[in-house]
Amino acid sequence: MISIMQSIVATPVVPIDQLLDQVAPSWAQFILWMPLISLALCGLCGAFKVKSKAPAVITIVSLATSFVLTLMLYIGYEGAQIIPIFDWIQIHWSGGSFIANFALYIDSLTLLWMLFVTGLGTLIAIYASEYMEHDVGKGYTRFFAGVSVFLFAMSCLVMGDNLLMLYLGWEGVGFASYWLIGYFYQRPAAVAAAKKAFIVNRIGDLGLALAIYLIWATFGTIQYDGIATALAAHHGDAETFTTFGGWTVHAIPYLLMLAAFGKSAQLPLYVWLPDAMEGPTPVSALIHAATMVTAGVYLIARTYPLFQLDEYALPTVAWVGGITALFAATIGMAQYDIKRIMAYSTVSQLGYMFLGLGVLSSYGAAYHVFTHAFFKAVLFLTCGAIMHGFAGQLDLRKLSGLRKMRGWKIVSYTMLIGCLCLAGFPFTSGYFSKDAILAEAFVTQGPGFKMLGWLAIFTAGLTAYYTFRVWFRVCCGPVHYEPGDELHGDDPATFHPHAPRIAINFVLIAIASGAIIAALPYFMENKTDGLTGGWVAEMVNDSPAKAGVPGAVATHDAHGDHGAHGSILGMDPHKAMYYISAVVGMIGLGLAFFFHLARRKAADSLRSKLLASNATRWLPTAMENKWYVDEFYIATIRTPLWILGKLFALIDRGIIDGLLVNGIAGIPRAIAKWFSPLHNGAVQSYAVSMIGGAALIVLLMMFMPEIMSFLQSTLIGATP
């Protein structure tokens, strides 16, 4: 292998543009490797059929190490830097090269994401160690291996220094999600949901792949700093990019959007996320609420300058986000499965984040990602605790008064904290982060942004309603419960819910505290001049997404003068929003209190009244049936394609093979009847004919000049 080794050594090392002269801390790569080490050890546990909680311990320790390393990296952070690890894909040819190294790009946006990804990852792994204990010795190892794969892929996605590494992580988290949604692989619904998640995400991945091709064709590189350099050289002017006639820079943001909307479950690609709730609840909390689904927000924030090259790119993001937020909230209002309600709520909240990105509040979007990660995780984890304790029961009509039951206090009150944050109750973390987005909708000039703002405020009211619908139903009222269908052999008549123990309770308290504390960054003093918005603004300001930070000097502002504030009802939007959203939230909460605690029967009678009238029947029906979107996709995409497949299979057998191939083959067969002694089917005669044929060919070759001149004279009529 000497020569291969030489070619490794001889591979020209591309000089990495040193952003800073400081020495890059190479230990940072272990943030990535720890989950991979954990995966390898889990694999060993699987191979040796370990029947203990060892996989959980391994995973928790390695994820905690990742978290500590991230924290160290954050503390020592002084500016963006690249940490090369190894050469991954380097294709050189004369005149160019395509380079995608396995390297890390650390800036504050990366750190912001990695802090909550590794932090929550560790906590949720601790939770899962108790939650999954029924499966010790069965799927326990597989579960933690999947979590490790996820953390590795997510770290690649967030920390990669180029778009191909992001793509590696992007598909990697999709695969981890497939793995974990399909954890209960004997349940058809889980298998179908896993498949659906992967395939729908692939449509988004297609957008990302095409965007990468376009970016490489346009900028000559897919490394973030290379793209930034190219953009700076063009002074961010879209007209100066002339690749393929200049349309590329206008197509890139829309393709990236497709990717982001797939991974972050926005219209029209959100359909996989509600089904993904078939996975174990810790997975829903970690992947499908707190971390993976925010990858789309990260992608757009990371490539924010590219979105500013097209006039309508960011407004499209805003509108898709705003409409998804409303749409998902209306579905969430009408569901009975509390985990599904949380799933639709996640889709809705992600819509807010995209709204934030679209209305030039990347800061608000990032802050909402951060707070949402905590409060949505705690909501899912409490749902999980309930599901765990009540044998799979998730129907809010069959659970009541948990707050008054022994051992369920922590669950009830941490759920309350999550609900308050999600509903945007004044002075909770969700209140501040949501307001940062809403206010900016009124500040930034854009097509219909004011209307979007009001739409989002209305959605905030719906959010408060459906959130407290859950809490008032499940945690308040008289004590009453029915077990679910996962009894594990218990008798339903003598069923006793088993309350969560120390690991689950500890994690619930820890994350709920996080959800409360997440309000503090808003009040942290800003070091940068003229910057408001606290710690998150500071983090985003040092990244490509800084154009959407309040008070920051935007390098390129596509949407008019950022300094000229709009107003709501004659007030400064930021101030007005504090009052408006508080009032709207209270109205939603009040309605929930009335219908789901004070007069529970009123809700049912309202529903039956609506259903009784021909004029209004469509509304609850459509909402309960999720606006028939799945059915629509099946009818318009899946079924036609499947029929096409069937048709092609028929054509392949009947026409291409049957008519054409066999038809042509029939001609010599007819001729061959003359030579029937040769065609006796025995294999030996084939061999004989082949030798005969070869001899014929040799003869042909020898007389080729004569044959050719004959052919030329007869066919073309000219003598050579």
* Residue 678 within binding range of another protein, rule CB under 8 A: no
Total site size for another protein, rule CB under 8 A:
81
Give me the amino acid identity at 86.
F
**Residue 631 touches another protein, criterion: CB under 8 A:** no
Minimum Å distance from CB 222 to another protein? 10
| One residue of 217, 487, 520, 524 binding another protein per CB under 8 A | 217
Q: Which of 2, 569 has the CB closer to another protein?
A: 2
Give the nearest distance from C-beta 181 to another protein in angstroms: 11
Spatial CA neighbour of 184 closest among 41, 60, 281: 281
Which residue's CB is nearer to another protein, number 172 or number 453? 172
Q: What size, in residues, is the chain? A: 720
Among positions 15, 75, 78, 186, the unique one binding another protein when judged by CB under 8 A: 186
**Beta strands at 96-106 and 399-400: parallel, antiparallel or unpaired:** unpaired
Answer for which of 69, 109, 209, 457 binds another protein (CB under 8 A) is 209
* Single-letter amino acid code for the residue at 341: I
**Residue 4: CB minimum distance to another protein, A:** 6
Q: What is the footprint of another protein within residues 432-461 (CB under 8 A)? A: none
Helix (H, G, I), strand (E, B) or coil at 82: strand
Which residues, numbered 520-539, are part of the site for another protein (CB under 8 A)?
none
Q: How far is the CB of 191 from another protein (least distance, A)?
A: 4
The only residue of 11, 18, 616, 636 in contact with another protein, by rule CB under 8 A: 11
Q: Is 4 in the site for another protein (CB under 8 A)?
A: yes
| Distance set, CA 7 to CA 1, 13, 88, 90, 606 (Å) | 10, 12, 14, 12, 75
Q: For residue 436, what are the contacts with CB-CB under 8 A and spacing of at least 6?
A: 356, 361, 363, 364, 367, 368, 533, 550
SS3 state at 76? coil
Q: What distance in Å separates the CA atoms of residue 38 and residue 47, rounded to the nearest whole number?
A: 14
Shortest distance (Å) from residue 653 CB to another protein? 8
Contact segment (CB under 8 A) with another protein among 85-93, 296-304, 362-370, 389-397 equals: 85-93
Judged by CB under 8 A, the residue of 93, 525, 716, 717 near another protein is 93
Rounded-to-integer distance, Cα 486 and Cα 679, Å: 67
Selected from 493, 665, 667, 715, the binder of another protein by CB under 8 A is: 665
Task: Determine if residue 85 is left, alpha or beta; phi over 0 gives left, psi from -120 to 50 gives alpha, anything else beta.
Answer: alpha
> Rounded to 5 degrees, what are φ and ψ at 93?
-150, 170
Q: How far is the CB of 55 from another protein (least distance, A)?
A: 16
The residues, any chain, with a CB within 8 Å of residue 77's CB and separated by 6 or more, are 106, 108, 111
1 touching another protein, by CB under 8 A: yes
Residue 437 in tokens: 């987005």
Residues pairing with 481 in the sheet: 399
Q: Does 639 bind another protein (CB under 8 A)?
A: no
> 634: how many CB neighbours lie within 10 A of its CB?
13
278 and 171 Cβ atoms separated by less than 8 Å: no
- Choice from 18, 97, 616, 625 touching another protein (CB under 8 A): 97
Are the CB atoms for 433 and 367 separated by under 8 Å? yes
Residue 87 or 624: which CB sits closer to another protein? 87
- Tokens encoding 633: 């996709």
Question: Count of CB atoms within 10 A of residue 238's CB?
Answer: 16
The answer to whether 287 contacts another protein (rule: CB under 8 A) is no
Query: Which residues in the 145-164 window bind another protein by CB under 8 A?
Result: 164
Distances (CA, A) of 329 to 263, 324, 345, 372, 464: 19, 8, 6, 16, 10
Q: How far apart are CA 525 and CA 543, in angstroms?
A: 19
Interface segment toward another protein; rule CB under 8 A; list 122-130, 200-208, 263-271, 308-316: 200-208
Task: Output 216 or 431, the one with its CB closest to another protein.
Answer: 216
Instruction: By CB under 8 A, tell whether 682 contacts another protein.
Output: no
Return the residue of 20, 451, 661, 691 that touches another protein, per CB under 8 A. Answer: 661
Asked whether the beta carbons of 287 and 177 are under 8 A apart, the reply is yes
683 in contact with another protein (CB under 8 A): yes
What is the amino acid identity at position 362? S
DSSP state of 491: -
CA proximity to 31, closest of 146, 118, 147: 118
**Checking DSSP bridges between strand 399-400 and strand 480-481, what pairing results, if any?**
antiparallel
Pick the binder of another protein from 167, 298, 352, 374 (CB under 8 A).
167
Q: How many CB atoms lie within 10 A of CB 303?
A: 22
Q: Pick out residues in 37-56 that bind another protein (CB under 8 A).
A: none
Whichever of 258 and 549 has its CB closer to another protein, that residue is 258
Binds another protein (CB under 8 A): choice among 79, 137, 188, 663: 188
- Binding status of residue 9 toward another protein by CB under 8 A: no
With beta carbons less than 8 A apart as the criterion, state whether 417 and 446 touch.
no
Residues near 196 by Cβ (< 8 Å), separated by ≥ 6?
A: 271, 272, 275
| 533 close to 436: Cβ distance less than 8 angstroms | yes
CB of 400 to another protein, least distance (A): 34
Out of 448, 492, 645, 692, the residue judged to bind another protein by CB under 8 A: 645
Start-end of H helices in 30-99: 30-47, 54-75
Q: What are phi and psi of 167, to 5 degrees?
A: -65, -40
Stretch that binds another protein, among 217-225, 432-440, 476-484, 575-583 (CB under 8 A): 217-225
Q: 32 and 159 in contact (C-beta within 8 Å)?
A: yes
Nearest to another protein of 517, 678 (CB atom): 678
Among residues 628, 632, 648, 675, the one that binds another protein under rule CB under 8 A: 648
Q: Shortest approach of another protein to residue 263 CB, angstroms?
A: 14
Question: Rule CB under 8 A: which of 221-260 touch another protein?
Answer: 241-245
Question: Residue 14 or residue 610: which is nearer to another protein going by CB?
Answer: 14
Nearer to another protein, 130 or 278 (CB): 278
- The correct pick among 30, 74, 77, 175 for binding another protein (CB under 8 A) is 175
How far apart, in Å, are the Cα atoms of 21 and each of 69, 71, 542? 22, 22, 18
Quick one: which segment of 204-212, 338-346, 572-580, 624-632 binds another protein (CB under 8 A)? 204-212
Using CB under 8 A as the binding rule, whether residue 182 contacts another protein is answered as yes
Q: Is 136 in the site for another protein (CB under 8 A)?
A: no
What is the closest distance, in whole angstroms, from the C-beta atom of residue 433 to another protein in the complex? 32
Q: Which of 51, 92, 498, 501 binds another protein (CB under 8 A)?
A: 92
Other Cβ atoms within 10 Å of 130 Cβ, number: 20
**220 scored as a contact of another protein (CB under 8 A):** yes
Q: Is 468 in the site for another protein (CB under 8 A)?
A: no
178 binds another protein (CB under 8 A): yes
- CA 101/CA 10 separation, integer angstroms: 16
Shortest Cβ distance from residue 96 to another protein (Å)? 4
Identity of the residue, 164 or 531, whose beta carbon is nearer to another protein in the bound complex: 164
Q: Does 487 bind another protein (CB under 8 A)?
A: no
Q: Which spans in 570-638 are helix H? A: 573-593, 600-612, 618-624, 629-633
Among 602, 660, 678, 688, binds another protein (CB under 8 A): 660
Nearer to another protein by C-beta: 164 or 385? Answer: 164
Of 390-429, binders to another protein (CB under 8 A) are: none
Contact string 685-704 vs another protein (x = CB under 8 A): -xx--x------xx-xxx-x
